[in-house]
Amino acid sequence: MKNHLIIGFGKWSKKIIHFLEKKKIFNKIYVKNRTNYFEYSKNFKYQKISLNKIKKDINSIHICTPLKSHYFYLKKFINIQKIIVEKPFLQSIDQINNIEKLITKKKLIYVNYTYLFNSFFIDLKKKIKNSGIYEITINFSQKNNFYKKKYDCLKDWLDHPLSIILFLFDNFCYFKVIKKNFVKKHGYYEKIVLHYYFKNILVKVKINKSNINKKNIVIKNLNQITFDFDKNIIINNNRKITKQKYTSFDLLYLYLKNNKRLNYQNFNFHKKVLIEKDKILTQIKKTKI
């Protein structure tokens, strides 16, 4: 692959840049911080580069800025052939519709539902169709993780479990808010538990439920299988451990390189995630527990 532009220079984008540099995927990596554009290298120095000078050489971009600026940068770089956007994708259905009108079928655009870029979920989807699973728990907890405004945690994190549910079941079903707790201490620390009642399968979503770092999905049938998102391992009945060959980053950029079309990377999928998130936030605000 040729030249790549990372828009944003925060903690997450630096993690991506480190991965790309290690894998040597691109000839050049350019970076856009709040004010300027730079070429990234091991001896990285803030030497300003004109966007006009490098724009023709950029083949793909990865938008890693806060949600409120996604729409602006998508429109600004709409002519780039390959685009990755961090989740949440956009702020409204209107914004999604507007971008959909501008994107041609030849272009490749991924929303980075990070954990779906893993073969584990393809296998799990097949197992669900063959039944035998009676409970799935999706855990997203982060120790001492708080947000400045109430509900910001949910707005940021809900896309992960919702994209997983939509991918596995192709739709959403009735849900119930089981627990909610908002602790205000130097910001908001949010704890939410949701239950989705699919036919024969209960799906539990737990966000910031505990004071430990836990990002995994637990599948219960005759056995108990856990997929640890961060360690990229599968644990069977707390004993057998299988290391996944490729990380989500590996597969995301491999798919980008190979122009792979993914069935869940479409605007209807993104709209469903956003609509469901709005439903949950509305219900949480109404629910008294």
Which letter does DSSP use for residue 231 in this model? T
Distances (CA, A) of 176 to 18, 89, 166, 173, 284: 40, 25, 17, 10, 9
User: φ, ψ for residue 275 (rounded to 5)?
Assistant: -65, -40
Q: What percent of the chain has pLDDT over 90?
A: 64
What value does the mean pLDDT of the chain take? 91
pLDDT in tens, 194-223: 999 999 899 999 998 667 788 999 999 878
User: What integer pLDDT is reported at residue 66 of this predicted model?
Assistant: 94
The reported pLDDT for the residue numbered 131 is 72
- The pLDDT value recorded for residue 98 is 96
pLDDT at 287: 81
* pLDDT the model gives residue 100: 95
What is the structure's pLDDT at 46? 63
Helix and strand element counts for the chain (H, E):
9, 14
Residue 45, pLDDT > 70, answer: no
Which pLDDT band holds residue 65 (cuts at 50, 70, 90)? Answer: very high
What distance in Å separates the CA atoms of residue 166 and residue 175, rounded to the nearest whole number?
13
In 3-state terms the chain splits into helix, strand, coil percentages (rounded to 5) of: 35, 30, 35
pLDDT value at position 146? 80
- For 66-75, 128-137, 159-168, which range has the lowest pLDDT when averaged over its residues? 128-137
The per-residue pLDDT for 166 is 98
pLDDT value of residue 142:
85
Burial class (CB in 10 A: 0-12, 13-18, 19+), 39: middle
What is residue 199's DSSP assignment? Answer: T
Is 71 exposed, middle or buried, given 0-12, 13-18 or 19+ CB atoms closer than 10 A?
Answer: buried
**Rounded distance, CA 26 to CA 23, Å?**
9
Placement of tokens 């597969």 in the chain = 251
Q: Is the pLDDT of residue 1 over 70?
A: no
Phi, psi of 147 (to 5 degrees): -125, 155
Residue 42: pLDDT band with limits 50, 70, 90: low
pLDDT digits (tens, 9 = 90+) for 152-183: 999 999 999 999 999 999 999 999 999 999 88
Section 261-265 average pLDDT: 94
Query: Is a pLDDT exceeding 80 seen at residue 284?
Result: yes
DSSP, collapsed to helix, strand or coil, labels residue 268 as helix
Q: Are 112 and 252 in contact (CB under 8 A)?
A: yes
Mean pLDDT over 277-283 rounds to 96
For the cut 80, the answer to whether the pLDDT of residue 130 exceeds it is no
- pLDDT tens by residue, 230-252: 899 999 887 878 888 889 999 99
